[in-house]
Structure 1
């Protein structure tokens, strides 16, 4: 009996272990495995370090030097007649569109009707004049009550009176014609843009100059570091297109709204900003409205020479791969002359960039790499995309 009891107890212990203990142990191992972070692979990278240069960054938007939107004249009941086409480049004083003043048109029509009546009246006077002469010639000399000269004088006076009225109507029409159509002309050379949607708020057309600049802002901390005519490297945020330029204007005063803020309103520690204009050396790949970032290198502007094998080409665009705090990112660059094993990079790089020159294993944009010391020795070139 005692032996039987011990067997039963042993079975219960085994079942308890199978049901409760083993699943927890196995589950714990799985959970531990799931919490393990993947190891970041060491690629054995050779770097080129860009010198640490103080830089000022200016974010801005591409704008035309001159622009004008022509709103509809609410006083006019007529639809403007556009004299140009969408996309046309027009010179100053080119007629863009005209309005017809309907009231003046009615007055001109009334004067034209008056002219028609006066012409008829004049013709009737001539007819009456001719009849009077015929009757005079048919009447015997002793029966004539007046002279031929008197007849001519009377009818000529009537014709002269009608001619005065005709002259007045013609002058009135000429004066009204100068006001019948109100013309709007271009004030500067620019490109015409005609809105496709003709709603109430849409302008008749827009005129924008083809010369573009970047309108940016700089904070008070960086204001004293920059100056007019200082060289700048600019990059289109969306496409990476790069272009050289320079600072063409710096406003000495912040916008009124910012300047009038009290210290209590600046409790968050924000700084005033100042408007800056940057000219562009080239407009290739640049359009009105593009967002751009300008980089101003302070101090030594000596060109940066980067090893040729660190520079890649994709459809004519040059770029390098950079270790950005453990992530591989791409920097589009503009290159200059070649100097032996190096190539001058005019712009596109940032201060203290760690450019990947070569690696033991293939590297591409988006890879995660270790922040380890630079390895020496022979290494295979980094993989091109």
Structure 2
């Protein structure tokens, strides 16, 4: 009888252990299910506008050969030399004018000889000498005037309209459009363009981050100018019916010239002026006068206090406390706790 009672007691204990174990497992499964059912919301990364461009000097001028100034010329500066505004760059010599100068100089020499011979004549009176010398002297005087005028036309000069670097091509050129040299300023900028679809996303003075493709360097800058007259048109990619897209010239001013070389290709990322983020209103909980959300970090909940700035439909505008790509609980409740694990 005693043994039978012991068996009954043990059986009852086992049943209670099984029942308790069942509810414990169910509770854990429920907790795990609740963890798995926590819906997360990732704050979207704001759409960026990217502009491709080329580094160019802010000022540049190509000096072409000017045959009207003469066939012979001398470049007065070296390749790569930095010159100040007003510096002499090219000297032309007009050979036709030079030949005329030589002829006039020979004429003056002959007239001077004739004048000297008249001075040496002893069989003439002083009065007659003066009469004969006068036309010779007048001719010398007029010839010298003409000579002086031609000498001013013998050489022509080209000067630097701005301070910059002289670039002389090594390639031999010929013809009417022969380039003698190019002058470019030391200051550089980015020449780019924006399509009509992206035009609304950019504005003057908007900050940009410029990536130099040649060396992966990043430089800050800003949009200096947007030309509202379209540059060209291209066919829209991926459309069954081709349509034309206008492109508008854009110039970007660089904050630094370091590691930037004329001709480098770059990609500029336009930074948005928008600082506020929008999150679902259901994600926000209150603690007194403060508002907070649960940030999901390393599969755990982290309380993050935020500042809000009004509602926008089912969303609330957040002015501080969160950033793009942050992951938060979309529907928070009072039962959630900081440090709670989530999957």
TM-score normalised according to structure 2 size? 0.63
Pair 69,352 (structure 1): closer, same or farther in 2 beyond 3 Å:
farther
- 3-state secondary structure, aligned to 2:62: strand
1 CA distance for matches of 2:265 and 2:173?
Answer: 28
Q: Does 1:199 align with 2:173?
A: yes
The structural deviation recorded for 1:165 is 1.1
Relative contact order (alpha carbons < 8 A, sep ≥ 6): 1 or 2 greater?
1
71-80 or 201-210: bigger deviation: 71-80
Structure-1 separation of matches of 2:159 and 2:241? 50
Name the residue aligned to 2:123.
132
Matched, 1:64 2:57: yes
What are the equivalent positions in structure 2 for 1:347-366 lying under 5 Å apart? none
Question: Relative to structure 1, is the Cα distance of residues 271 and 78 closer, same or farther in structure 2, using a 3 angstrom cutoff?
Answer: closer
Alpha-carbon distance change, 288 to 301 in structure 1, aligned in 2, over 3 angstroms: farther
Contact 1:60 1:214 in 2 (8 A): yes
Q: Which residue pairs with 1:99 in the alignment?
A: 92
1:229-265 CA distance string (max 9 Å, x none): 111110101211111100000011212x439x9xxx9
Larger strand percent: 2
Separation in 2, partners of 1:51, 1:299: 16
Deviations 1:188-223 (A, max 9, x none): 221101112323265111111111110111111221
The answer as to whether partners of 2:88 and 2:157 remain within 8 angstroms in 1 is yes
Instruction: Give, in angstroms, the shift of residue 115 of structure 1.
Output: 0.8
Question: Given the superposition, is the C-alpha separation of residues 266 and 157 from structure 1 closer, same or farther in structure 2, using an over 3 Å criterion?
Answer: farther
User: SS where residue 234 of structure 1 aligns?
Assistant: strand
1:278 to 242, 246, 252: 252
Contact 2:221 2:254 in 1 (8 A): yes
Partner of 1:293: 267
CA distance 1:266–1:230, change in 2 (3 Å): farther
CA–CA distance in structure 1, aligned partners of residues 44 and 133 of structure 2: 98
- Which residue of structure 1 lines up, in the alignment, with residue 135 of structure 2? 161
SS in structure 2 opposite 1:113? Answer: helix
- Kept in 1: contact 2:93–2:156 (CA 8 A): yes
Distance 2:170 2:104 in 1: 39
SS at match of 1:271: strand
What does the per-residue CA deviation read over 1:45-81, in whole Å, with 9 as the maximum and x for residues that have no partner?
A: xxxx997133111110011111111222345663311
In the alignment, structure 2 segments of 5+ residues that lack a partner are: 1-41, 277-323, 327-340
Q: Is the contact made by 2:49 and 2:269 (CA closer than 8 Å) also made in structure 1?
A: yes
Alignment of 1:203-352 (within 5 A): 203-255=179-231, 257-258=232-233, 267-269=241-243, 271-300=245-274
Q: CA deviation at 1:82?
A: 1.0
Is it true that 1:173 corresponds to 2:147 in the alignment? yes
Task: Decide which moves more: 195-204 or 220-229.
Answer: 195-204
Partner deviation per Cα, 1:242-297 (whole Å, 9 max, x = no partner): 11100000011212x439x9xxx993245221110000011101011111111112
Deviations 1:165-207 (A, max 9, x none): 1111111111001111121122222110111232326511111
The change in CA–CA distance for 1:211 and 1:99 in structure 2 (over 3 A counts) is same
1:108 alignment partner in structure 2: 101
> When the two structures are aligned, how many residues end up with a matched partner?
235
Contact 1:111 1:169 in 2 (8 A): yes
Unaligned runs of 5+ in 1: 1-48, 134-150, 303-350, 354-375, 377-385
Q: Scaled by the length of structure 1, what TM-score is found?
A: 0.56
